[in-house]
């Protein structure tokens, strides 16, 4: 056989193998697409038993075909964990953990944005829920998720357990977890909670402003509002749980010597100084001289909204309210982010409330609401101020007690704008209404529907309810 004939034959073999292989791949891919359609239809109606086999076939043969392999696969395996027992259940748990690794490998992004933090934190949560790994491994998985992609690590439950597993290691006397690292981790995670809360608030405020203007919401906006409220409620709950944990450790007795010991090494670290000052302020340790040292160091190297606020606080402590107010106003002026501005305004409102300066407290709470309409805590603060003034406003006993209607109405506004406060707001309103004039009192006075004005600091009015 001559060389030319040999080359022709070799080329023919190569072409045959190419088309044969391509045909097999095409057939396999077509089969995967069919199985994808089958398991997806079953999964949509929650028939996960029927979805399992075609899903597993696609997962093995075409793992990068479609993200539905993993979004539905998670539900399919969770269903099996719930239904199976013994060794079969253990196998399903392990398979779910493996699925998250496959997910991160084949579909690390969602809409061209990394989803690794969300995927790996879900893996860590599953390891925790199903007890498939020791505490250190679970924490390390959460930590890996956060360090690789904090942006998509947003699930409130996962964030809470990220800190909780670290705290549990601390309580178990793990040598790698010191009290200082515990506080640092708390600050890091709580700041992330605040960030996510602010992002939700921004979205919710757009809808609240539209409602306030009298424009009807679309069905899509109504659905989104419901989702935002659910997520906001979850953040509020888990952040509260986070604070309850750290409250056991973050006492002035622990904080002051810790920060004194580490001040020299961190006196030029803006983040450290801010966190230390914030922690001492929130735990009412600001009477200690160390707080002055922290604030002055912070203001010297990074004059900011935070440092100006703390200087205002120091002047408040010294009894110089005018100088304090000057720094408070400077703090607000220096802050450029409206939501951080609202947070500072609420801090100032609470300081004025504690000092008995009710009109100033309400003024700052209302300013906070102007920057963040969904800030329900501001309405609760104002309602409390009204309730505390019941005996000081009104010229008759009936009118004095009528202040509670105003307090109740204001409390309800908190629940309307912040779903996480809804239950507390309703209970507060019920409590206030219980102290307001009764239907018998209204009948006796004969003033149903009348408007009662309060000429005290409240300088507002309320309408007597109908019988």
The pLDDT tens digits of the residues spanning 206-242 come to: 999 999 899 999 999 999 999 999 998 999 899 999 9
Q: Determine the length of the chain.
A: 467
Sign of CA dihedral 294, 295, 299, 304: positive
Taking the domains of the chain in order of start, what are their residue ranges?
134-249, 375-467
Condensed to tens digits (0 to 9), the pLDDT of residues 386-401 reads 999 998 998 899 999 9
Condensed to tens digits (0 to 9), the pLDDT of residues 58-73 reads 999 999 999 999 999 9
pLDDT tier, 85 (very low <50, low <70, confident <90, very high otherwise): very high
Condensed to tens digits (0 to 9), the pLDDT of residues 121-176 reads 999 999 999 999 999 999 999 999 999 999 999 999 999 999 999 999 999 999 99
CA distance 334 to 340: 11
Nearest to 71 by CA among 141, 138, 118, 124: 118
pLDDT at 2: 53
- Using only the alpha carbons of the chain, give its radius of gyration: 30
Residues 428 and 383 sit within 8 Å (Cβ to Cβ)? yes
Mean pLDDT of the chain: 91
pLDDT at 12: 45
Condensed to tens digits (0 to 9), the pLDDT of residues 314-344 reads 998 888 988 988 999 999 999 999 999 999 9
For 144, half-sphere exposure in the C-beta direction (CA atoms, 13 angstrom radius) is 16
Residues 127 and 93 sit within 8 Å (Cβ to Cβ)? no
- Please check the confidence at residue 75 and state whether its pLDDT lies above 80: yes
Residue 350 dihedral angles phi and psi, to the nearest 5°: -65, -35
pLDDT tier, 103 (very low <50, low <70, confident <90, very high otherwise): very high
**3-state SS record for the chain:** CCHHHHHHHHHHHHHHHHHHHHHHHHHHHHHHHHHHHHHHHHHHCCCHHHHHHHHHHHHHHCCCCCCHHHHHHHHHHHHHHHHCCHHHHHHHHHHHHHHHHHHHHHCCEECCEECHHHHHHHHHHHHHHCCCCCHHHHHHHHHHHHHHCHHHCCCHHHHHHHHHHHHHHHHCCCCCCCHHHHHHHHHHHHHHHHHHHHHHHHHHHHHHHHHHCCCCCCHHHHHHHHHHHHHHHHHHHHHHHHHHHHHCCCCHHHHHHHHHHHHHHHCCCHHHHHHHHHHHHHCCCCCCHHHHHHHHHHHHHCCCHHHHHHHHHHHHHCCCHHHHHHHHHHHHHHCCCHHHHHHHHHHHHHHHHHCCCHHHHHHHHHHHHHHCCCCHHHHHHHHHHHHHCCCCCCCCHHHHHHHHHHHHHHHHHHHHHCHHHHHHHHHHHHHHHHHCCCHHHHHHHCCCCCEEEECCCCCEEEECCCC
pLDDT tier, 15 (very low <50, low <70, confident <90, very high otherwise): very low
Which residues, including other chains, have CB under 8 Å from residue 22's CB and lie 6 or more apart?
Answer: none
> Vertex 395, ends 390 and 397: CA angle to 5°?
60
Which residues, including other chains, have CB under 8 Å from residue 303's CB and lie 6 or more apart?
Answer: 334
Q: 466 vs 162, which has greater pLDDT?
A: 162
420-430 mean pLDDT: 94
430-458 mean pLDDT: 94
- Please check the confidence at residue 467 and state whether its pLDDT lies above 70: yes
pTM: 0.82
CA distance 46 to 40: 10
Nearest to 141 by CA among 112, 171, 104: 104
Nearest to 198 by CA among 164, 236, 225, 224: 236
- Please check the confidence at residue 120 and state whether its pLDDT lies above 90: yes
Which residues, including other chains, have CB under 8 Å from residue 208's CB and lie 6 or more apart?
Answer: 373, 374, 417
pLDDT tier, 192 (very low <50, low <70, confident <90, very high otherwise): very high
pLDDT at 1: 53
Condensed to tens digits (0 to 9), the pLDDT of residues 364-421 reads 999 999 999 999 999 999 999 999 999 899 889 999 999 999 999 999 999 999 988 9
Residues 103 and 121 sit within 8 Å (Cβ to Cβ)? no
> Vertex 307, ends 276 and 334: CA angle to 5°?
140
pLDDT at 351: 87
DSSP bridge pairs for 453: 461
Q: What percent of the chain has pLDDT over 70?
A: 94
pLDDT at 21: 36
Condensed to tens digits (0 to 9), the pLDDT of residues 27-57 reads 558 999 999 999 999 999 999 999 999 999 9
């Amino acid at each position: 056989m001559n060389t030319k004939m040999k080359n022709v034959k070799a080329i023919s073999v190569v072409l045959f193998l190419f088309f044969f292989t391509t045909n097999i791949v095409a057939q396999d891919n077509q089969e995967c697409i069919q199985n994808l359609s089958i398991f997806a239809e079953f999964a949509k109606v929650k028939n996960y038993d029927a979805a399992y086999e075609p899903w597993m076939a696609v997962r093995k043969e075409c793992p990068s075909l479609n993200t539905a392999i993993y979004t539905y696969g998670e539900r399919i395996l969770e269903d099996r964990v719930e239904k199976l027992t013994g060794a079969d259940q253990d196998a399903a748990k392990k398979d779910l953990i493996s699925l998250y690794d496959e997910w991160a490998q084949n579909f690390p992004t969602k809409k061209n944005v990394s989803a690794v933090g969300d995927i790996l934190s879900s893996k860590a949560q599953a390891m925790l829920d199903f007890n498939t790994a020791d505490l250190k491994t679970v924490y390390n998985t959460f930590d890996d998720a956060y360090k690789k992609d904090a942006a998509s690590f947003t699930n409130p439950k996962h964030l809470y357990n990220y800190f909780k597993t670290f705290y549990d290691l601390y309580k178990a006397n793990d040598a790698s977890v010191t009290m200082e690292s515990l506080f640092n981790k708390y600050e890091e995670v709580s700041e992330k909670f605040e960030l996510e809360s602010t992002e939700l608030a921004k979205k919710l405020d757009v809808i609240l402003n539209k409602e306030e203007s009298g424009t009807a919401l679309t069905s899509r906006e109504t659905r989104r509002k419901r989702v935002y409220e659910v997520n906001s409620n979850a953040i509020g709950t888990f952040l509260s749980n986070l604070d309850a944990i750290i409250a056991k450790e973050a006492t002035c007795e622990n904080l002051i010597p810790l920060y004194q010991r580490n001040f020299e090494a961190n006196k030029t670290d803006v983040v450290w100084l801010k966190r230390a000052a914030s922690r001492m302020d929130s735990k009412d340790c600001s009477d200690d001289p160390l707080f002055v040292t922290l604030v002055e160091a912070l203001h010297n190297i990074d004059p900011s909204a935070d440092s100006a606020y703390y200087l205002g606080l120091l002047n408040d402590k010294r009894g110089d309210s005018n100088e304090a107010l000057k720094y408070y106003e400077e703090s607000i002026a220096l802050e450029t982010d409206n939501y951080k501005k609202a947070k500072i305004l609420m801090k100032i409102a609470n300081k004025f409330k504690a000092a008995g300066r009710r009109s100033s407290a309400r003024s700052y709470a209302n300013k906070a609401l102007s920057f963040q309409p969904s800030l329900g805590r501001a309405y609760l603060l104002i309602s409390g101020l009204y309730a505390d003034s019941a005996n000081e406003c009104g010229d008759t006993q009936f009118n004095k007690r009528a202040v509670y209607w105003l307090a109740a109405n204001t409390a309800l506004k908190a629940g309307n704008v912040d779903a996480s406060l809804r239950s507390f707001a309703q209970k507060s309103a019920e409590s206030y209404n219980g102290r307001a004039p009764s239907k018998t009192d209204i009948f006796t006075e004969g003033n149903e529907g009348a408007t009662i004005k309060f000429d005290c600091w409240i300088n507002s009015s309320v309408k007597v309810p109908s019988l």
